[in-house]
């Protein structure tokens, strides 16, 4: 870390301690809420979601052949294949906007093109099959269908726009990559395929959320999700010991630790900031009152849809929690259009998520990515409100 950055951080902490009026009851409540949100995040998401995701990212970096990544997701890969693989990943990864970050960083650093990588970044939390089914069941089939179609289309459009807007930089990045040197590294696909599948199985079942209604397939999986996750964990250990050398396993752990150091500190800072400003989902203890948000998203104006998109882009939603939150907002008079806008922007973006993406892509690409998602969500939500209104 540069000395100037260290000085800036110390000055920022000093200013925060000096100027923030912690004597005000509302500020004290928001400060407590920020740490309660961090506690909830640590309890509910770090061990079950983030830890497996970090190990998947480390495995991609060490075991997956760079040639394989370049073939399917690289800048020179066939666009239909690359964007289809990236965009449909969310149907099997029931993850939130923060859990997807290590996976995104792993494939991007391994050589995936900016377009497919950002399509994956959006699709991971947005095209969540369980969330789409729950949306249709709780909020109505029209919102469920609108979310499903919009999320799949968004993943393609977001990726294509990012690739087009930064095509010059991507061309330079692709030219700098060795088109031949990556083909022989990593493990054979007969090893990496089953091993990564076992890690994904561990992530999916460890992160399996409890359904709102104790019936159906989702509840049946919930009742046995820990034994299933344990089975995949044992399979991961067995395959790692059988197929990879001790040196490779140590390199895997070191790469995983590298992703932890890159992502986790920024993530925790972002969660604290989101909790301080907006409070935990379902509470009104943040610095910004919930009634302000509810009052601005009624009807179906472009402003209401834009505000819903921006609010969703800053708020943190744990997997599936956006549905009961929106149920409450709709009960307070939120329009159908803004509801879809928030569903399309919220699960894929958050303040913690954006801080980490900036560390991987830089400020310009991060703001562009967020801007594309917000603008698309605004206009699609507005159009949906006109059609259903």
Domain definitions of the chain by residue range: 25-173+181-388
Q: Which of 74-78, 129-133, 273-277, 300-304 has the lowest mean pLDDT?
A: 129-133
Beta bridge partners of 113: none
Q: Which of 76, 99, 73 is nearest to 87 (CA)?
A: 73
Residue 156 has pLDDT above 80, yes or no: yes
SS3 362: coil
SS3 309: helix
- What is the distance between the alpha carbons of residues 316 and 49, in angstroms, rounded to a whole number? 15
The contacts of residue 135 (CB under 8 Å, 6+ apart) are: 143, 144, 147, 323, 343
Q: Token match 């059988």: residue?
A: 242
| Structure confidence at residue 47 as a pLDDT band (50, 70, 90) | confident
For position 332, what pLDDT does the model report?
60
| Structure confidence at residue 98 as a pLDDT band (50, 70, 90) | confident
The contacts of residue 140 (CB under 8 Å, 6+ apart) are: none
For position 161, what pLDDT does the model report?
93
The contacts of residue 221 (CB under 8 Å, 6+ apart) are: 205, 208, 228
- The stretch 145-165 carries a mean pLDDT of 89
First-to-last C-alpha distance (Å) of the chain: 53
pLDDT tens figures, 314-338: 877 765 667 767 766 776 667 889 9
For position 75, what pLDDT does the model report?
65
| Structure confidence at residue 180 as a pLDDT band (50, 70, 90) | very low
SS3 125: helix
SS3 298: strand
Highest-pLDDT range among 197-211, 321-335, 340-354: 340-354
- What is the distance between the alpha carbons of residues 195 and 214, in angstroms, rounded to a whole number? 32
- What is the distance between the alpha carbons of residues 95 and 1, in angstroms, rounded to a whole number? 31
* Residue with the larger pLDDT of the pair 194 and 389: 194
For position 15, what pLDDT does the model report?
86
Q: Which of 22-36, 48-62, 298-312 has the lowest mean pLDDT?
A: 48-62
């Amino acid at each position: 870390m540069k000395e100037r950055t260290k000085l800036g951080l110390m000055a920022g902490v000093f200013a925060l301690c000096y100027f923030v009026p912690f004597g005000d009851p509302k500020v004290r409540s928001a400060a407590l809420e920020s740490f309660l949100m961090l506690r909830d995040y640590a309890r509910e998401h770090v061990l079950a979601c983030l830890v497996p995701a970090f190990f998947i990212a480390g495995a991609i970096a060490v075991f997956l052949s760079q040639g394989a990544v370049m073939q399917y997701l690289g800048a020179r890969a066939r666009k239909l294949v690359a964007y289809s693989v990236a965009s449909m990943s969310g149907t099997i990864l029931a993850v939130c906007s923060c859990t997807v970050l290590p996976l995104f960083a792993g494939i991007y650093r391994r050589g995936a093109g900016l377009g497919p990588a950002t399509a994956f970044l959006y699709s991971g939390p947005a095209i969540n099959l369980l969330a789409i089914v729950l949306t249709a069941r709780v909020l109505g089939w029209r919102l469920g269908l609108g979310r499903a179609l919009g999320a799949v289309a968004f993943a393609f459009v977001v990726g294509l726009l990012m690739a087009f807007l930064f095509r010059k930089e991507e061309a330079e990045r692709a030219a700098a990559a060795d088109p031949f040197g990556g083909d022989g590294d990593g493990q054979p696909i007969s090893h990496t395929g089953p091993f990564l599948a076992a890690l994904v199985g561990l992530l999916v079942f460890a992160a399996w959320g409890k359904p709102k209604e104790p019936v159906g397939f989702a509840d049946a999986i919930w009742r046995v999700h820990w034994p299933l996750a344990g089975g995949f964990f044992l399979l991961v250990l067995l395959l790692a010991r059988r197929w990879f050398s001790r040196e490779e396993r140590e390199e895997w752990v070191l790469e995983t630790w590298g992703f932890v150091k890159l992502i986790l500190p920024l993530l925790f800072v972002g969660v604290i900031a989101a909790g301080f400003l907006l409070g935990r989902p379902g509470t009104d203890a943040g610095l910004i009152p919930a009634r302000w948000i509810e009052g601005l998203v009624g009807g179906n104006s472009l402003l209401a849809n834009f505000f819903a998109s921006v609010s969703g882009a800053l708020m943190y939603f744990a997997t599936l929690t956006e549905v009961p939150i929106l149920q409450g907002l709709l009960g307070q008079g939120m329009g159908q259009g803004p509801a879809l806008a928030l569903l399309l922007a919220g699960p894929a973006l958050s303040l913690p998520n954006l801080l980490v993406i900036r560390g991987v892509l830089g400020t310009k690409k991060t703001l562009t990515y967020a801007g594309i998602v917000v603008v698309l969500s605004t206009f699609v939500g507005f159009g949906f409100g006109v059609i259903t209104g």
